[in-house]
Structure 1
């Protein structure tokens, strides 16, 4: 479906090694790419602890279900998700990394002096979301260019940075805020972002030449390719489902009697599971196929929602067990999405295709939590409805992945794809 001429470039080395024999450049690039990924994805995944401080300053509680706490989730990236990929393909990666890094640091500094709710929204959600989108997509696409055979593992390692940030950042604010105040606790986070961003701006590099022939415009026509469209639909459904537990697990824990301090730590526990949950599926995917691995983890997420969360009945150990296990199984949603996209497109168009996929998926990110909030209100405060909704959508994602795999590579049980 792509009419653009194919670039004449060297194919990716299957083992992720560069031409220079002194050191594995692919591994070096993976380590470099973790730095900006830790900055943007970590801020996204730990938003509940940050938002609790922010919203308390505005006189409301983020943990109460009637409040749509996703209002302050970094969602501004939806505006640039589809643009970052094409720009990455056509121009120098620094064109995205530098402004994204500056935006994250500026966001943290402005956030430290915010007073009103609208200020929190404009700073954290709009500026933070836009900056995060400029960082995340290029780092993932860069990693994909340097790796062939081990692309899934390398991408998973890069994505573990988000889980690391999702643990570190909320704990910094949780323990620093009572001692040095909210402003300085956020400035500490900003300093961490600044140091990571400096390394990223210096070290992250593309392997392939700029694809200016194709241009920096979005190519929604790629969705006419059935296998790519099905992969994008599966990612959309997975993103719609995964952020419901991430958004509401803390308020659910408070609802069933957890102490506020423990309820706020639920998101950190999700990220504890997410760190190995992003690296290990990549290791498996390189051997058994990215679509196969994503399918299994999506089905496991659906099973964990129905078998653990739905039946927990407020039991402390059951809720904690679900939180850690769901964090582990859902890690593949972040780590394997770009790998699956790379399997159904040319590597020269990797940035553009991943950008289009993330643009579509961002719709699920933006509407998932508000829909879940409406379900809670319709159920008079019961969380059973969102459990069923999240589990069912994850099951639909697994079915769509199986469909995409069949269309792209065949329906046999032994197909590795």
Structure 2
């Protein structure tokens, strides 16, 4: 059951505008011939569109379910592991596809491109986006989203809550390390292990397929509180796995690494949202849940924005030396795990 959260017109305007930006940016991506055009269509247009859709949708689910909240959030989060958008990269003189996540969309594009060319392969992906968005519109019929006005983008009271701000800082560090394996596992395979690009392509699909399992794990834990208890531990485990990546020197090891890290990554990306309502003061949950989730994801997004470029700057792609990126990814995940201990202890004391 969905309780009153947003004014329906306001909420649906976010859904419609976000989905339009994703489809429009993807279609414009098919016309890109220069790097700045790619940044405008994929980086800015699609990026804003996905952000506009993702956080409000999770906020609705998070407040709608007080029981089985972890399962409720895990179901839509799983979709992000099954199908995620693709982006362009410059390969000498041609614009080609570099996978940045997901299973269905990257594989679909890779099969479509030889048959219909880059432009129409990208447009077909855009039409698939449009179809899936249309299905989501139907799911909102009959949902009660009434009685409140649009809220501020920032909850200023949250800045006075030390546990929440430490949590956001932890998410910045986690975001820095989280995307390092996602961006560099395929490159590591082709440069260090002499694996063909076709096979290396599917390593990222394996990682994302494993993340589907991880996204369901919080929902399998009997209590949300218990699911959150594993957050610092699994974040540290993620850092340890990234450090262990340095010792991988064959394809089998890389497949195992991708699968294990994918499961952990799927768990982490799901618990981020689950933690916010529990960490917030009880009186503030219904009033500011969407805003606080947005603030938490903003911190994670900042980490993701700066983490992968830093990892790239610490690596030497020509010689295949990715130890700098691996060390940076593992260290930031460990740092995030350390910071998570304080907000977790605060929640534990409240529950006691």
TM-score by length of 2: 0.86
How much has 1:91 moved relative to structure 2? 6.4
Q: Which of 390, 394, 397 pairs up with 2:336?
A: 397
Q: Is the 8 A contact 2:191 2:319 kept in 1?
A: no
| Equivalence for 1:239 | 175
Return the alpha-carbon distance in structure 1 between the equivalents of residues 6 and 327 of structure 2: 38
Unmatched 5+ stretches in structure 1: 1-17, 19-24, 27-86
Tell me if 1:373 matches 2:304.
Answer: no
| TM superposition shift of 1:408 | 2.8
CA deviation after TM superposition for structure 1 residue 293, in Å: 2.5
Which of 108, 112, 119 aligns to 1:176? It is 112
Q: Give the Cα separation in 1 of the matches to 2:147 and 2:303.
A: 31
Q: Which residue is equivalent to 2:162? A: 226
Partner Cα distance (2:153, 2:61) in 1: 22
Q: Identify if the C-alpha distance between structure 1 residues 132 and 280 changes in structure 2 by more than 3 Å, giving closer, same or farther.
A: same
The worse-fitting range, judged by mean Cα deviation, of 149-158 and 400-409 is 400-409
Cα deviation, residue 378, structure 1: 11
Q: Go from structure 1 to structure 2 and tell me whether the alpha carbon gap of 1:290 and 1:348 turns closer, same or farther (over 3 Å shift).
A: farther
Structure 1 residues 88 and 137 mapped into 2: Cα distance closer, same or farther (>3 Å)?
farther
Contact 2:167 2:339 in 1 (8 A): yes
CA change 1:269–1:298 in 2 (3 A) is: same
**Residues 203, 303 of structure 1: alpha-carbon distance in 2 compared, 3 angstrom cutoff:** same
2:25 equivalent to 1:107: yes
1:339 aligned to 2:278?
Answer: no
Q: CA RMSD in A?
A: 2.5
Residue 198 in 1 paired to residue 134 in 2?
yes
CA distance in 2, matches of 1:378, 1:268: 21
Q: 1 CA distance for matches of 2:174 and 2:255? A: 22
Conservation of the 8 A alpha-carbon contact between 2:70 and 2:224 = no
The answer on whether the counterparts of 1:160 and 1:279 sit within 8 Å (CA) in structure 2 is yes
Aligned partners of 1:139, 1:215: CA distance in 2, in Å?
15
The more displaced of 282-291 and 162-171 is 282-291
Query: CA–CA distance in 1 between the matches of 2:7 and 2:165?
Result: 20
Residues 276-314 of structure 1, C-alpha deviation per residue, up to 9 Å, x if partnerless? Answer: 11111332273553421222321221222223x1211x2
The CA distance in 2 between the partners of 1:296 and 1:207, in whole Å, is 38
Question: Out of 373, 376, 387, which is 2:326 matched to?
Answer: 387
Structure 2: distance between partners of 1:115 and 1:157: 37
* Contact persistence 1:90–1:215 (CA under 8 A): no
Structure 1 partner of 2:76? 158
Counterpart in the other structure of 1:187: 123
* Residue 333 of structure 1: how far off its partner (Å): 2.1
The TM-score with structure 1 as length reference comes to 0.73
Partner of 1:148: 66
Q: 1:284 to 1:296 in 2, by over 3 A?
A: farther
1:343-375 deviation per Cα after TM superposition (whole angstroms, max 9, x unaligned): 122133111001111222221111101111111
For residues 65-113 of structure 1, the C-alpha deviation after alignment (integer angstroms, 9 at most, x for no partner) is xxxxxxxxxxxxxxxxxxxxxx968963102000111111112221122
Residues 29 and 38 in structure 2, CA contact (< 8 A), matched pair in contact too: yes
Instruction: Give SS of 1:258's match.
Output: coil
Which of 303, 306, 317 does residue 364 from structure 1 map onto?
Answer: 303
Give the paired residue count: 327
2:195 and 2:135 mapped to 1: Cα distance? 40
- After the TM superposition, which of the residue ranges 319-328 and 374-383 deviates more from structure 2? 374-383
Report Cα offsets for 1:369-406 as digits up to 9, x if no partner: 11111111499752112212111211122222222111
- Structure 2: how far apart are the matches of 1:175 and 1:379? 28
Q: In the alignment, is residue 262 of structure 1 matched against residue 199 of structure 2? A: yes
Structure 2 unaligned spans of 5+: 84-101
Cα separation, 1, equivalents of 2:317 and 2:133: 44
